[in-house]
Structure 1
């Protein structure tokens, strides 16, 4: 095989949530990919329990949001309660501003199957090889050679790709071959995770509940479909063997008021929580780490799996631009620059939520929490990046580095839909009641022209339109958001984050 003979654009190592998200994102952008997965079937146990409106907007980007919602239920609130029934805090979820409900309860196996079916839409552009293990990943200046072994036949094969995405999660062999170390800690507590089929409704079953207790804190959460989940720590001296059968775990549920009339247990497993991150999310020039291959966090913020999915969509549009020749290879440096601080943020949120659940807060911290209960908690903050492919500083009160809201919108001829569905897949420059082309300098416009950007004037619903270069913000949320932050014109990336705005400069980011 000659170095420049490529079998595929991108090799995807591992086909869990991060890998299948990458396949959908790449496929939708016209990029070919081949995925390699050891297991022939989806893991049958639910692990992740939620997705929020940011992640759902990504699914919308590849046309799968309505399909995955068929197996999900909106989450309306979360609360902290004690075993005696005292409610410490209840947090209703606000209406989503990204075009979807703020959060959804999921059943992960069903969601993953929908994503796999979605990737199959792209035919030969996205190929998946099941039942193979990756035995070597070698890169050179021109590409990556992935060597695999068929687990059934023992036969080896090589696949040549331009880039590779390592999405292999907890499987250590590939990580070791790449020479990647995960830095951080493994928490010294073992957890039993119990999944049940709901037989009848109990009070507030649909509210995500944290049972706060120093010895036995519990996560109590409705999953999608008719499933429910409890995550319960083992006490010192308890081992997995103490809860070997379903009968052994029933006393744990009964202490929460759950009876055999409420559910049938259909599975339980044991997990240990990690707080770890790879020392680098890029190996050489052509291999990138995503999801659990790059980072591990406790489950309290429900952001582990979601962070991997966001990794996939972030790197996908950048790879598509590089492979298509519209973006320089240097933009790939911004993958880790954007994603690592965001993952660190959610990891810290998760750690702090865990402290609340385990009643580890001091009296001063508890008092501060009570005074902040009316504010939007960090877990529900709108998506943002603190650094990356932007022009100007991503300051808290600016539009730069933030994801734009997604209102209901309308075209000039009256077609009504969600904003993203009307904007298309690429770059777009939006002007608040102004033609953005009249605000851009000649050099700025030439830069966005080279990226194939659209230019649209955003009108309010009480205004009229005349040309196809106008769009109506029916809900007023996008216009209101721009004016709150003092922006008249913004350049928006394919992932709907603002790359540049007129207060800090509208040139294409360096």
Structure 2
């Protein structure tokens, strides 16, 4: 083994430059935190890999300014069909169900997503160090020592305050920590095929077929006549062949479809595994390093990106001494339950599609349409798929200081939905009022507040700015044009959505989730903010 050179010091070391690692490095850089990001691969993968980008991920990537570019390069899917034995069991129109400004599933190759993230990262002045692998990792009190090896065999010792393992299912970081990765693999083998396909199917819909105890999924890509097929394999051959692709199509009644120009044929197995903990001291795991599961529903890459963003804004605030170190405890508390739930649900969906017993398949085919019949269930299914309904209501860093409500209004921990307001006669997005990198305090004047309560909110705004400076942006929202506020909520639509018709406040985190909800009592805001933020001058 080559002798390691003298140590180099870095604030954050990110291991792995897939979508998870690139998201984490981008958000750290956007927040002004220096990091190094390494990857053992000499170049990004050219394969399409993960295809689906869900609405919540597009909302996150909008902060990097790349969402529209991805939309322009992808295919918008607005419908989903589920068939069994050529009979359609379920049809979902997604746009009316998604509560987002991105009311579709975006089909775009992972390679395109990675390029967009890489280009944005380069504009921050950060470059991925290619052909560099982690070979050793050891916690040393207030820092972590890592040994890196480049392609020429030269080793480097790095002292990092924080290390993030975004290095996939075979994570070296996880192995170095000795952390378990419990779970199992499905016995059946699967294939994916990116091919040209001459078939009469809508270009803006996904089609999934339950066939003879197996599964065939057909996903339309942006280029005309290009599709991805995912299907179970009856054979044990090493290579996927075009004849197997044609056989898969015949199984779902599309035997007349013509297959041509394959660009990627691959065989894979499905593992369902998750680590128990996402953190060990100053080392964190994110994405596939922490959880892997069935590709059904396209949740993998999206979950990794959102793991990364959740951790990155918190780590940035801690590094900049704008928040206490205890803020980092919430990463596992918030993201581990979501990872666990996704592993469980995708395993259940995969087992359902692979049912072999004909009687059990018949029962499944009768129950599924019933389960998807109501609008409420469709919204729940669709917004779960889109990851829009993921909430942190049980997080240790969110507080709801109002009486429990059963009217469906927002609670602390929920994502702040899209909405529109009036600012000096101009329509503006609710999201555009939010702080670019910090917290936002939205003060709602209410429909009966009058000038007295509105003045209280204005005084609170002044006090918060004095205490926290630019760490918090404060915005007072009036009920309508009759108040003296510069921003108004016509008809109280946003007030009602927030459950604050009588006035109150929402503290919005940098990731768009609600940290704090209080009623019309300005002093309640102070009780919790000091637990999450360090006042200006005390960093």
Select between 379-388 and 255-264 the one with higher mean Cα deviation: 255-264
Instruction: Write out aligned runs for 1:142-291 (5 A).
Output: 142-151=142-151, 153-197=152-196, 202-226=200-224, 227-235=226-234, 238-241=235-238, 243-256=239-252, 257=254, 261=258, 263-283=260-280, 285-291=281-287
Does the 8 Å contact 2:217/2:231 carry over to 1? yes
Does 2:503 align with 1:495? no
User: Residues 402 and 502 (structure 1 numbering): CA distance in 2 closer, same or farther, change over 3 Å?
Assistant: same
Displacement of 1:429 after TM fit? 1.2
User: Residues 310 and 404 (structure 1 numbering): CA distance in 2 closer, same or farther, change over 3 Å?
Assistant: same
Does the 8 Å contact 1:291/1:308 carry over to 2? yes
User: Which residue is 2:434 aligned to?
Assistant: 423
Residue 324 of structure 2, aligned match among 310, 324, 328: 328
Q: Distance in 1 between matches of 2:491 and 2:38?
A: 44
Displacement of 1:240 after TM fit? 3.1
User: Which residue is 1:132 aligned to?
Assistant: 132
Residue 417 of structure 2, aligned match among 397, 405, 427: 405
Instruction: Write out aligned runs for 1:455-494 (5 A).
Output: 455-459=474-478, 463=481, 466=484, 470-472=486-488, 478-483=494-499, 488-494=504-510
Displacement of 1:365 after TM fit? 8.8
Contiguous gaps of at least 5 residues in structure 1: none
Does the 8 Å contact 1:202/1:262 carry over to 2? no
What is the aligned length? 493
User: Which residue is 1:74 aligned to?
Assistant: 76
Contiguous gaps of at least 5 residues in structure 2: 1-6, 447-452, 532-539
Q: Distance in 1 between matches of 2:461 and 2:502?
A: 23
Q: Distance in 1 between matches of 2:381 and 2:54?
A: 13
User: Which residue is 1:87 aligned to?
Assistant: 88
Displacement of 1:430 after TM fit? 1.1
Does the 8 Å contact 2:249/2:257 carry over to 1? no
Q: Distance in 2 between matches of 1:131 and 1:192?
A: 29
Does the 8 Å contact 1:482/1:488 carry over to 2? no
User: Which residue is 1:27 aligned to?
Assistant: 29
Q: Distance in 2 between matches of 1:105 and 1:420?
A: 25
Q: Distance in 1 between matches of 2:492 and 2:291?
A: 38
Give CA deviations for 1:357-383 in whole Å, capped at 9, x if unaligned: 335667389437515422223352423
Displacement of 1:211 after TM fit? 0.3
Does the 8 Å contact 2:143/2:160 carry over to 1? yes
Does 2:355 align with 1:348? no
Does 2:327 align with 1:316? no
| Paired residue secondary structure (2:46) | coil
User: Residues 254 and 333 (structure 1 numbering): CA distance in 2 closer, same or farther, change over 3 Å?
Assistant: same
Does 2:374 align with 1:377? no
Give CA deviations for 1:46-70 in whole Å, capped at 9, x if unaligned: 2222121111110011221112212
User: Residues 197 and 422 (structure 1 numbering): CA distance in 2 closer, same or farther, change over 3 Å?
Assistant: farther
Displacement of 1:244 after TM fit? 4.3
**RMSD over aligned Cα, in angstroms?**
3.2
Residue 55 of structure 1, aligned match among 54, 57, 67: 57
| Paired residue secondary structure (1:94) | coil
Select between 445-454 and 342-351 the one with higher mean Cα deviation: 445-454
Displacement of 1:290 after TM fit? 0.3
Q: Distance in 2 between matches of 1:436 and 1:127?
A: 48
Q: Distance in 2 between matches of 1:89 and 1:448?
A: 55
User: Residues 413 and 204 (structure 1 numbering): CA distance in 2 closer, same or farther, change over 3 Å?
Assistant: closer
User: Residues 486 and 120 (structure 1 numbering): CA distance in 2 closer, same or farther, change over 3 Å?
Assistant: farther
Select between 373-382 and 9-18 the one with higher mean Cα deviation: 373-382
| Paired residue secondary structure (1:144) | strand
Does 2:115 align with 1:118? no
User: Which residue is 1:454 aligned to?
Assistant: 473
Q: Distance in 1 between matches of 2:12 and 2:261?
A: 43
Select between 310-319 and 264-273 the one with higher mean Cα deviation: 264-273
Give CA deviations for 1:160-185 in whole Å, capped at 9, x if unaligned: 32211100002344432121110112
User: Residues 249 and 372 (structure 1 numbering): CA distance in 2 closer, same or farther, change over 3 Å?
Assistant: closer
Alignment TM-score, normalising by the size of structure 1: 0.87
Q: Distance in 2 between matches of 1:246 and 1:80?
A: 24
Select between 29-38 and 164-173 the one with higher mean Cα deviation: 164-173
Displacement of 1:432 after TM fit? 2.8
Q: Distance in 2 between matches of 1:493 and 1:203?
A: 42
User: Which residue is 1:387 aligned to?
Assistant: 394
User: Residues 93 and 143 (structure 1 numbering): CA distance in 2 closer, same or farther, change over 3 Å?
Assistant: same
Does the 8 Å contact 1:355/1:361 carry over to 2? no
Does the 8 Å contact 2:443/2:505 carry over to 1? yes
